[in-house]
Amino acid sequence: MKKTLVVLLVSLAILLTLIIPTYATEPILQEDEVLESESSTKLSEMKEETGGKLQQYIEKYGGSKTYGLTAMILDTVRIYSIPFCFLGITIGAIYQYIIGIRRLDIRDRGFNLIIAFVTILVIAQILPLVFAIVTRGWVL
């Protein structure tokens, strides 16, 4: 019964799409050209912003492209690790304190998740500082 109903509905949908004509009221090419130019403008703006940041990091690290790129990547990881790790800590707390009340193996899994995400958070926050101290020296 269910299979025949599904087949009937799918065939009805296909039949309706074939029977009902659709007409375009405006030329599509002009809209596509506008969308392509807007998206290419946004893409070029993003590329310029990233290139500008990379140039700033290269200048900070004495003109070395490798050090500048590494510093930019570490800074990006530092920024995005905060919400990612807080989400992981929250999931670990749910496992430990809510689901883990009845099952001890899940409670241990929650505790291990919390420890892992706190460790990742600390490393991601301290690593850019250590990199800056090692490459540039302690400048006050």
Task: Give 22-64 pLDDT, tens digit per residue.
Answer: 665 655 555 555 555 666 677 677 767 776 788 888 888 888 8
Task: Give 15-26 pLDDT, tens digit per residue.
Answer: 667 776 666 565
Of residues 130 and 137, more confidence is placed in: 130
Q: What is the token pair recorded at 57?
A: 């990091």
pTM value is 0.60
pLDDT at 99: 87
CA–CA dist 65, 102 (Å, integer): 54
CA–CA dist 88, 8 (Å, integer): 46
Least confident interval from 5-14, 69-78, 130-139: 5-14
CA dihedral 86, 88, 90, 95 (to 10 degrees): -170
| Residue 2 backbone zone (phi > 0: left; psi -120 to 50: alpha; other: beta) | alpha
Task: Give 91-113 pLDDT, tens digit per residue.
Answer: 999 988 988 888 888 888 999 99
Distances (CA, A) of 101 to 21, 91, 94, 117: 60, 15, 10, 21
| Residue 63 backbone zone (phi > 0: left; psi -120 to 50: alpha; other: beta) | left
pLDDT at 113: 93
pLDDT at 23: 61
The full length of the chain comes to: 140
Least confident interval from 1-5, 88-92, 108-112: 1-5
CA–CA dist 57, 53 (Å, integer): 6
